[in-house]
C-alpha cells in the first residue's frame, strides 16, 4: 500500500530464516544497540546469543532456575540483563557468555527490565507490583517504587535517562523521575483494560502504549493526549511488545495473538504488512538499529525466532 | 529536556545536603562540561572520577610517581583529558577513558591552580598559577613555560622579572598567589595581581592589552569567569567579591582589542591600557558580608550565571553564601563544622558541591517535594483558590450518551519521533569529536555462585543439623523473601554513602563528623 509521501512505496519484508534452538516458548528477542548481536530469552530458562549477520548460535546463557520473561542490552552492547520467574535478574557478559551479577530483591517473578542510556542503572518491574532501580556496578537496589496495584508489565527509560515509564495490569501508565523515584505524571488511569506495554519514542517525546483491547496508542505525554491509534491486530491476553522501525521510513511493528507480525505506517496509521509464518502468538518483535531487519519470537506452540528482511 | 512535566529549573538553588562522598581525603573538585562526572584530587596524589548520577567511583587515576597532595584538577572541554597539579611541583595530563597518564611536567614551583585551554578539544596548552611567581602558560607537549606579566611596571622594564614577587599594597614582599583564568574560548588570559588590578593579556605574544584597576586595590585571590563568558568575578583581600561584566565579544576578543587600541591612539602606555580596560570590563556588583566581614573562599558562578556562590573562609564553619547576580543574598547553607576548601556549582543543575577540610565532599541539592497533580491524568495544580461555576447541565445524569473521551487533536498530523532538540544549555557544542559524557559502568563480579537459595531453602532446612536453629541459619534468604518494605535499601557496608538524608539536624551532622574520624573502610 503506497504512502502519500510519494518518494517510495513500502517494500514488503520477506522471511529470511527461522531459528529453532529454544525448547520452550521464546519470550523476548532484542537486537544489540550496535546491531551485531541478537539475543533471545525463553521459558526454557536460557538465553541465546546469535550473530546478527550470520544468524548462527554464539552462546547459550544458562543459569536461571525458572523461565525468563525479558531481556535488555546495555548501551555499549557488552552486557545483557535478563528478568526471570525465579525472582532474580542476571547481568551477563555478552562476549564470553558468563553471568557477572545476580540482582536479588524482588519477591515475585520479575517481568520486565531495561538499562538506562548511560547503562549505569537497571530498572525492573515485577509481579510483586514494585519497580526497582538497581546500580549496575554494585548490584544494589537504589530505589523501590511501589506505584502499582497489580503486576508491572513494562518499564523503560527515556533518552536522557531522567524518566522511567511503567505500565501495569492495573490499567495505569505512570512516569517517574529516575533520580528521586517520585511520580511525575499518570498517563492512563482507567481500571481496564490493562496496559501491557509502554515505551518512549527514540527522541523521548512520545510514548507508545499497548492495551489489552487490541489497541496501540501513541501519546504525547506532555499534553496527556494520544495522537495516533493503531489497530487490526489481536491483543487480549499477552504482554506483546511493539517497537518503532525507523531505518527506512517510520513504522510501528508489533506482534499479535493471531500469529502474525503487524507493521503500520506511523503517520497514516494504516497497516502496511502482515508477516505470517509463526504457529503461535508472536510475543516480541525487535528492529535492527541500522538494517531493515525484524526479528520476532513465538510462544510455546511455535518456539522459534524468525528473522525478516526487506529486499533492497 | 523534560520540560513538559518536570518543573522548570530556572532560578533554583540548593537547600540541603543530599549526600556526601567519601574516599580517602579529597582536596579539590571539578565537574566535567555536562556535570555527569566529578573529578576529585586527593591527598595521596590520586585523582578519583565519580559518576555523578550514581554517586559511585567510575575511575581512579593513580600513578606511582606522584604521591603528594593534588592542588587542582581541570577537565578539557571534550571531557577526554584531565590536568592534575600536585604539591610536588608536577603537572600531569591524563586520558580519562583509558586511565593512562599522557604526560608529566615538573615545574619550578608548586602550581596552586592549573587550567587547560578551553578552546580546543585536545588542548596542549595550560595556565598554571604557582605559589610564588607569576602565572605561566605551559606547553604540555614540549614542557616550555612562558611567564606572564603581573604588573604594569614590568611593561616599562620590558619583560617580567624571572622570580617576581608579589608586593602587597603596603609594599611588603609576600608570596601571595596571583590569580588567573582563561576567557571563555581561551583567546585571552585575565590575571588579577597583588595591586588589585585585572590585566588582560594576550598570551600568544605576552602582551598586556588592558588594565582594569579594582577599587580598593587589594590583592586579588581568585578570578573566575561565568560559564557563558559574560561575567567575571574577583575575590579580593578586602573581603569583597566583585562582579564585572565582560564587554568584549566572546569570540573575536583580540580583534576588538585592536580596534579599541586604534581608537585610543592619542593615549600612551598605562593611560591607554586603563582606557582600553574600561571598555573591556565594567563593575557590576560587589558582594560582602558587612556584618561578619568574612573572607571568601572559592567563589564561583552557577551554570547559567544567575547565581554567585562563595564559601566562608573562616575555619571551623562550613558556610556557603548564595547571591543572585543583582546582589541579594538569597541563602546561606550551613554544613558540619569543618572549613571549606573548595566549592563548585553543577554546570546545569541547581546543585553545589563543597569539599570540607577533612576530605569529604558534600552534595547540596534542592529538597524535592511530591507533586500531587501527578497522581491522576486530569489533576491540575492551581496556584490559588479559583471560583468554579459549573455549567447548567454539568451534573445531570444522561444515561443514554456514551462518554466518549474524544481527543481534540487532529489525528492526521505528522508526528516526529526521531528529531531531538538541542539542549540550549550547551549551545556551543561544535565538537568535531564525540564528547565524553559518561564512563561505562562495569558490574563488579559476584562471589562464585552458591546454589540458588530460594529454590533449595526447604531442603536445607531439613538437612541442617548444625548448631543454631535452622531459622537463624537461613536468616539470609528468608529476609529477602519477606522484604515487602518499600524504603530504599541502605548501603550498610561501613556507611560509605548514606542516601537521601533529608535535612539532617546539627546533632546528626556532628555525629556523622565523629564517625568519619574513625578509620573507615576504603570503598570498592
The 10s digit of each residue's pLDDT in A196-224 is 999 999 888 899 999 999 999 998 888 88
pLDDT for res B467? 41
Which residues share a beta bridge with B106?
B90
The helix, strand and coil proportions of chain A, stated in percent and rounded to the nearest 5, come to 0, 55, 45
Which of B442, B452, B482 is closest, CB to CB, to A86? B452
Q: Nearest by CB to A162, from B2, B377, B409: name it.
A: B2
Nearest to B307 by CA among B318, B319, B293, B323: B323
Of B51, B415, B446, the CB nearest to A218: B415
Closest CA relative to residue B346, chosen from B365, B321, B373: B365
| Percent helix, percent strand, percent coil in chain B, to nearest 5 | 15, 30, 55
**Phi and psi at residue B250, to the nearest 5°:** -70, -35
Return the higher-pLDDT residue of B263 and A35. Answer: A35
Residues 6+ apart with CB under 8 A from B12: B350, B366
Nearest by CB to B376, which of A189, A218, A221?
Answer: A189
Q: Do the bridges between strand A183-188 and strand B329-335 make them parallel or antiparallel, or are there none, so unpaired?
A: unpaired
Interacting residues of B369 by C-beta distance below 8 A, sequence separation 6+: none
CA distances (Å), origin B17, targets A67, B76, B333, B513: 44, 28, 9, 14
Nearest-neighbour CA in chain A from B3: distance (Å): 8
In the β-sheet with B136-139, what is the strand arrangement from edge to edge?
B111-116, B125-130, B136-139, B145-147
The pLDDT of A62-87, averaged and rounded, is 93
Lowest mean pLDDT among A262-271, B34-43, B259-268, B313-322: B259-268
Does a cis peptide bond (omega within 30 degrees of 0) precede residue B363? no
> Cα distance from A131 to chain B (closest Cα, Å)?
10
pLDDT exceeds cutoff 60 at B370: yes
Q: Which residues in chain B have their CB less than 8 angstroms from residue A115's CB?
A: none
List, as ranges, residues 121-140 from A with C-beta within 8 Å of B: 121, 128, 130, 135-140
> What is residue B73's predicted lDDT score, i.e. its pLDDT?
94
**C-alpha span between B19 and B309 (Å, rounded):** 19
CB-closest option in B36, B54, B413 to A135: B54
Interface test with chain B among A203, A244, A269, by most B beta carbons within 10 Å: A203
- Separation of alpha carbons B491 and B162, rounded Å: 54
Contact between B512 and B520 under an 8 Å Cβ cutoff? The reply is: no
Q: How confident is the model at residue B400 (pLDDT cuts 50, 70, 90)?
A: low
> Are B138 and B107 a contacting pair, CB within 8 Å?
yes
Kindly determine whether residue A266 and residue B415, on different chains, have CB atoms separated by under 8 Å: yes
How far is the alpha carbon of A270 from chain B, nearest alpha carbon, in Å? 11
pTM attached to this predicted model:
0.74
B1 has a chain A CB within 8 A of its CB: yes
CB contact under 8 A, A100 and B4: no
Contact A65 B455 (CB under 8 A): yes
* Lowest-pLDDT choice from A221-225, A238-242, B96-100: A221-225
CB contact under 8 A, B417 and A146: no
B465 touches chain A (CB under 8 A): no
CB-based contact, B404 to chain A, within 8 Å = no
Looking at the predicted structure, is the pLDDT value of residue A279 above 90? yes
Hey, are the CB atoms on B443 and A162 less than 8 Å from each other? no
Q: B396 burial class (0-12, 13-18, 19+ CB within 10 angstroms)?
A: exposed
Contact A91 B488 (CB under 8 A): no
Interface touch B445/A118, C-beta < 8 Å: no
pLDDT of residue A229 exceeding 80, the answer is yes
Give the integer Cα–Cα distance in Å for A241 and A206: 16
- Nearest CA to B262 out of B252, B275, B249 is that of B275
Whether residue A35 has pLDDT greater than 60: yes
B441 touches chain A (CB under 8 A): yes
A206 by DSSP, 3-state: which? strand
| Percentage, residues of chain B above pLDDT 90 | 19
CB contact under 8 A, B446 and A188: no
Best mutation target, A96, A140, A161, A242, to test chain B (most B CBs within 10 A):
A140
Task: Tell me whether A215 touches chain B (CB under 8 Å).
Answer: no
Measured between CB atoms, which of A107, A222, A267 is closest to B483? A107
Instruction: Check whether B262 has a pLDDT greater than 60.
Output: yes
pLDDT higher at A178 or B506: A178
pLDDT value, residue A25: 93
Q: Answer for the pair B68, B380: CB distance below 8 angstroms, yes or no.
A: no
Q: What distance in Å separates residue A101's CA from the closest CA in chain B?
A: 5
Can you read off the three cell numbers belonging to residue A254?
508489533
The mean pLDDT value for B179-191 works out to 89
Residues of B whose CB is below 8 A from A164: none
Nearest CA in chain B to A251: B417
* CB contact B389 to A (< 8 Å): no
Name the percent of chain B lying above pLDDT 70. 73
> Which pLDDT belongs to residue B10?
42
**What residues have CB less than 8 Å from B420, skipping those under 6 apart?**
A159, A203, A204
Give the list of residues 6+ apart from residue B444 with CB closer than 8 angstroms, or none: A101, A137, A138, A139, B524
Q: With cut-offs at 50, 70 and 90, classify the pLDDT of residue B157.
A: very low
A79–chain B Cβ distance below 8 A for any pair: yes
With CB atoms and an 8 Å threshold, state whether B446 touches A101.
yes
Residue B373: predicted pLDDT: 74
Question: Cα–Cα distance between A177 and B368 in angstroms, integer?
Answer: 11
B439-486 pLDDT, tens digit per residue, is 777 777 766 544 444 443 344 444 434 443 434 333 333 333 333 333
Q: Which residue has the cell 568575578?
A: B233
C-alpha triplet B263, B266, B270: angle, nearest 5° = 95
Burial (CB count <10 Å: 0-12, 13-18, 19+), residue A221? buried
Backbone CA torsion sign across B429, B434, B435, B437: positive
Minimal C-alpha gap between B320 and chain A (Å):
24
Report H helices in chain A.
none
Amino acid at each position: 500500500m503506497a504512502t502519500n509521501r510519494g518518494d517510495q512505496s513500502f517494500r514488503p519484508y520477506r522471511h529470511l530464516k527461522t531459528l529453532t534452538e529454544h525448547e520452550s516458548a521464546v519470550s523476548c528477542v532484542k537486537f544489540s544497540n550496535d546491531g551485531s548481536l541478537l539475543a533471545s530469552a525463553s521459558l526454557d530458562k536460557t538465553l541465546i546469543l546469535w550473530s546478527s549477520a550470520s544468524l548462527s548460535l554464539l552462546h547459550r546463557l544458562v543459569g536461571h532456575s525458572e523461565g525468563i520473561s525479558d531481556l535488555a542490552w546495555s548501551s555499549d552492547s557488552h552486557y545483557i540483563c535478563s528478568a526471570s520467574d525465579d525472582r532474580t535478574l542476571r547481568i551477563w557478559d555478552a562476549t564470553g557468555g558468563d553471568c557477572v551479577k545476580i540482582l536479588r530483591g524482588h519477591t515475585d517473578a520479575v517481568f520486565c527490565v531495561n538499562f538506562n542510556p548511560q547503562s549505569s542503572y537497571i530498572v525492573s518491574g515485577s509481579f510483586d507490583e514494585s519497580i526497582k532501580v538497581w546500580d549496575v556496578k554494585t548490584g544494589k537496589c537504589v530505589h523501590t517504587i511501589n506505584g502499582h496495584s497489580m503486576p508491572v508489565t513494562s518499564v523503560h527509560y527515556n533518552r536522557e535517562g531522567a524518566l522511567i515509564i511503567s505500565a501495569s495490569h492495573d490499567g495505569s501508565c505512570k512516569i517517574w523521575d529516575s533520580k528521586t523515584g517520585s511520580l511525575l505524571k499518570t498517563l492512563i488511569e482507567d481500571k481496564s483494560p490493562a496496559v501491557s506495554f509502554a515505551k518512549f519514542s527514540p527522541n523521548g517525546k512520545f510514548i507508545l502504549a499497548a492495551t489489552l483491547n487490541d489497541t496501540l496508542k501513541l501519546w504525547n505525554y506532555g499534553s496527556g493526549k494520544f495522537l495516533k491509534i493503531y489497530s487490526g491486530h489481536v491483543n487480549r491476553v499477552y504482554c506483546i511488545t511493539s517497537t518503532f522501525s525507523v531505518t527506512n521510513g517510520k513504522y510501528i511493528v508489533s506482534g499479535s495473538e493471531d500469529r502474525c507480525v503487524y507493521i503500520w505506517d506511523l503517520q497514516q496509521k494504516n497497516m502496511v504488512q502482515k508477516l505470517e509464518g509463526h504457529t503461535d502468538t508472536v510475543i516480541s518483535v525487535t528492529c535492527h538499529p541500522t538494517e531493515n531487519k525484524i526479528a520476532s519470537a513465538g510462544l510455546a506452540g511455535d518456539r522459534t525466532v524468525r528473522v525478516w528482511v526487506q529486499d533492497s | 529536556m523534560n520540560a513538559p512535566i518536570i518543573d522548570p529549573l530556572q532560578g533554583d538553588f540548593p537547600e540541603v545536603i543530599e549526600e556526601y562522598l567519601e574516599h580517602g581525603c579529597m582536596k579539590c573538585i571539578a565537574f566535567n562540561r555536562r556535570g555527569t562526572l566529578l573529578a576529585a584530587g586527593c591527598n595521596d596524589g590520586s585523582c578519583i572520577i565519580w559518576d555523578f548520577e550514581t554517586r559511585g567511583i567510575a575511575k581512579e587515576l593513580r600513578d606511582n610517581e606522584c604521591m603528594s597532595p593534588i592542588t587542582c584538577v581541570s577537565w578539557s572541554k571534550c571531557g577526554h583529558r584531565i590536568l592534575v597539579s600536585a604539591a610536588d611541583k608536577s603537572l600531569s595530563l591524563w586520558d580519562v577513558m583509558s586511565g593512562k597518564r599522557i604526560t608529566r611536567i615538573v615545574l619550578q614551583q608548586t602550581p596552586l591552580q592549573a587550567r587547560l585551554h578551553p578552546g580546543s578539544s585536545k588542548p596542549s596548552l595550560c595556565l598554571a598559577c604557582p605559589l610564588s611567581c607569576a602565572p605561566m602558560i605551559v606547553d604540555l607537549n614540549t614542557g616550555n613555560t612562558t611567564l606572564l606579566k603581573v604588573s604594569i611596571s614590568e611593561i616599562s622594564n620590558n619583560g617580567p622579572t624571572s622570580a617576581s614577587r608579589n608586593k602587597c599594597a603596603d609594599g611588603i614582599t609576600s608570596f601571595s598567589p596571583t590569580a588567573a583564568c582563561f576567557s571563555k574560548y581561551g583567546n585571552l588570559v585575565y590575571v588579577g595581581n597583588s595591586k588589585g588590578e585585572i590585566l588582560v593579556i594576550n598570551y600568544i605574544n605576552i602582551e598586556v592589552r588592558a588594565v582594569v584597576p579594582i577599587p580598593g586595590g587589594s590583592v586579588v585571590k581568585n578570578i573566575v569567569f561565568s560559564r557563558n563568558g559574560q561575567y567575571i568575578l574577583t575575590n579580593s583581600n578586602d573581603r569583597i567579591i566583585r562582579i564585572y561584566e565582560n564587554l568584549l565579544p566572546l569570540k573575536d576578543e583580540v580583534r576588538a582589542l585592536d580596534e579599541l587600541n586604534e581608537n585610543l591612539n592619542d593615549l600612551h602606555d598605562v593611560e591607554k591600557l586603563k582606557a582600553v580596560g574600561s571598555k573591556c570590563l565594567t563593575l557590576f556588583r560587589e558582594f560582602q558580608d558587612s556584618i561578619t566581614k568574612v573572607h571568601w573562599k572559592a567563589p564561583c558562578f552557577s551554570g547559567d550565571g544567575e547565581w554567585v556562590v562563595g564559601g566562608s573562609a573562616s575555619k571551623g564553619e562550613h558556610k556557603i553564601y548564595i547571591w543572585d547576580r543583582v546582589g541579594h543574598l538569597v541563602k546561606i547553607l550551613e554544613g558540619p563544622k569543618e572549613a571549606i576548601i573548595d566549592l563548585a556549582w553543577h554546570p546545569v543543575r541547581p546543585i553545589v558541591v563543597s569539599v570540607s577540610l577533612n576530605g569529604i565532599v558534600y552534595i547540596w541539592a534542592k529538597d524535592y517535594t511530591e507533586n500531587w497533580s501527578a497522581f491522576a491524568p486530569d489533576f491540575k495544580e492551581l496556584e490559588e483558590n479559583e471560583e468554579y461555576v459549573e455549567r447548567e447541565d454539568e451534573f445531570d445524569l444522561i444515561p443514554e450518551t456514551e462518554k466518549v473521551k474524544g481527543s481534540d487533536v487532529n489525528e492526521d498530523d505528522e508526528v516526529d519521533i526521531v528529531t531531538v532538540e538541542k539542549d540550549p544549555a550547551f549551545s556551543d557544542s561544535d565538537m568535531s569529536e564525540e564528547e565524553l559524557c559518561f564512563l561505562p559502568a562495569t558490574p563488579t563480579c559476584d562471589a562464585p555462585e552458591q546454589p540458588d537459595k530460594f529454590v533449595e531453602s526447604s531442603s536445607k532446612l531439613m538437612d541442617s543439623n548444625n548448631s543454631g536453629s535452622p531459622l537463624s541459619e537461613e536468616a539470609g534468604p528468608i529476609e529477602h523473601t519477606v522484604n515487602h518494605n518499600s524504603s530504599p535499601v541502605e548501603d550498610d557496608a561501613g556507611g560509605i554513602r548514606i542516601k537521601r538524608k533529608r535535612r539532617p539536624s546539627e546533632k546528626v551532622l556532628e555525629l556523622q563528623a565523629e564517625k568519619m574520624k574513625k578509620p573507615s573502610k576504603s570503598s570498592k
